[in-house]
Amino acid sequence: MPNLLETRGLTAFYGDFQAIFGVDMQLQAGETIAVIGANGAGKSTLMRSIAGVIANRSDMILYRGEPIGSIDAADVVRRGIALVPEGRRLFPSLTVEENLQIGSYGKRDAGYWSLNTVYELFPVLRERRRNPATALSGGQQQMVAIGRALMSNPEVLLCDELSLGLAPVVIKDIYGAFAKIRIAGAAIVIVEQDIAQALKVADRVYCMMEGKITLTGGPAELDRADIHAAYFGASTDELA
């Protein structure tokens, strides 16, 4: 099966600083993959590269076989890739509903997702639709950020650290919505520092360290010790 989304030898820079060194990643239609790794591993840089927030060499990112590495963020959304950014990035002066509607600007074809279906997915957002986004709890704000991304009816949904700073019960609620998002047709890339959460939802896992992929495989075939080494580097035992 051809890949829906693929990076080939992807490199990414902030000025002179190189954050990513030759990342090869593949995502197939309907698949959910997870990218795990410690703080600073390059996970967000990988997501920002795919989403067009950071410019890359064109042929380092392929979507449906077409090079998209150097197109801008708005064009990436139009083609069907939406990012839920780390830290949510809602518009504080806008209501919940206005924040959601922003996600449908420049939208492609009509699809499953609309205000109504987002409210069905997260009913609490319908109740709070006239409230400023900042009046919501952290978990509810994360729901708005996911809903905003869904409003573009993406074929690929990129989620950067959804669970950061949220209570376990809230994280469970949010990941509970992913079954429905998958059924509606999106392939999903989940970035997580929480390894257990990543292994639970993903068909395949990529582990990143210092800007490189250090391990990849299905949750069942990955060994805990291998994940630990790929995530943190040499174990403290080996260093001693």
Binding site residues, ligand ADP, CB under 6 A? 14, 17, 19, 37, 39-45
Over the range 142-156, which residues count as b (16 or more CB within 10 Å of their CB) and which as e? bbbbbbbbbbbbbbb
Total number of residues binding Mg ion (CB under 5 A)? 3
14 binds, among Mg ion, ligand ADP, none (CB under 5 to 8 A by kind): ligand ADP
Considering beta carbons, is residue 84 or 100 the nearer one to ligand ADP?
84
How open is the CA angle 83-196-144, to the nearest 5 degrees? 30
Helical pair 168-176 and 138-150, crossing angle rounded to 10 deg: 20
Considering beta carbons, is residue 121 or 145 the nearer one to ligand ADP?
145
Farthest CA pair distance, the chain? 58
Query: To the nearest whole angstrom, how small is the minimum distance from the Cβ of residue 5 to Mg ion?
Result: 19
For residues 13 to 52, the per-residue mask of contacts with Mg ion, x marking binding by CB under 5 A and - elsewhere, is ------------------------------xx--------
Beta strand 61-63 with 5-14 is: antiparallel
Considering beta carbons, is residue 41 or 81 the nearer one to ligand ADP?
41
User: Which of 144, 142, 182, 185 has the alpha carbon at shortest distance from 161?
Assistant: 142
- Residue 99 makes contact with Mg ion by CB under 5 A: no
Contacts to Mg ion by CB under 5 A: 43-44, 86
